[in-house]
Structure 1
Amino acid sequence: METIVGEWIKTDDLQYLRKTGQKNGHGVYEVIEARCAEDDYVLCSGSISVCDYFDDDNSYNSYCTNVINSYYESVENFENNYKDKETREQILAEMLFEETFYFELSYRIVSGDDIEKELEKEVNLKK
């Protein structure tokens, strides 16, 4: 279930996303996510510009196609699941963010006991 916090949508237990604009006809999204790392979490944040994952002919580039296939088995399955372009781009931004290494993003280590509080604090800082 999606919970709205200001402009942020809670897309998963430990993930928030918001659309921040458009670039070349595709959405730009900011994502904040906590990733499990043994007893602690890595709290990551960053921006995904969906247009960066398209070729000049406006088709998914090979990296993007591989990411889609890893979640949905095929581009066709993915597109059939999300007919609405806005929803499809949001889901695509989530997948691309999840496949981005934490060290390519802004991140910090957070105690597992404090993760939900720290995640909400991060979201509230960026309202």
Structure 2
Amino acid sequence: MARKKPKLEYAIICDDIRQEVGKKFTFVGIYGGRDLIVRELPFIFPKLCFAVFYKDMKCGDSFSIELSEPSGKQLGQTINGELPGESKGYINFMVFALFSPLKVEKNGKYKLLITINNDKKNRNEIEFSIKLTDETQQS
């Protein structure tokens, strides 16, 4: 039987991710949508975190994560990793990508690009926008 392709289930964008006792995680400052509102540009996020959830992964699968700005230029370094373990079957997998600090200089659509097992044809993109706040709507 052919191998299932790993499937991106969902992603969370937040200010911080903390590991708790008992294999629990706390997500701090979760962004409710895909628009991240800033007061000025350039803007520096002290930390911007992504929790990405996949299913149908296998131990030994590799991944790479890149963040790009609207022009396509890469921000920060590529994050590379491999799923540890001995399991032979399919597993669900959660990977965290933390960029700290992260300086953004432009409005527009940014992308978190995730490649599994060097399969660039099936690369996943998590798109979000950086937008300036509308000062007239603040109270």
TM-score relative to the length of structure 1: 0.27
| Larger Rg belongs to | 2
More helix by share: 1
More strand by share: 2
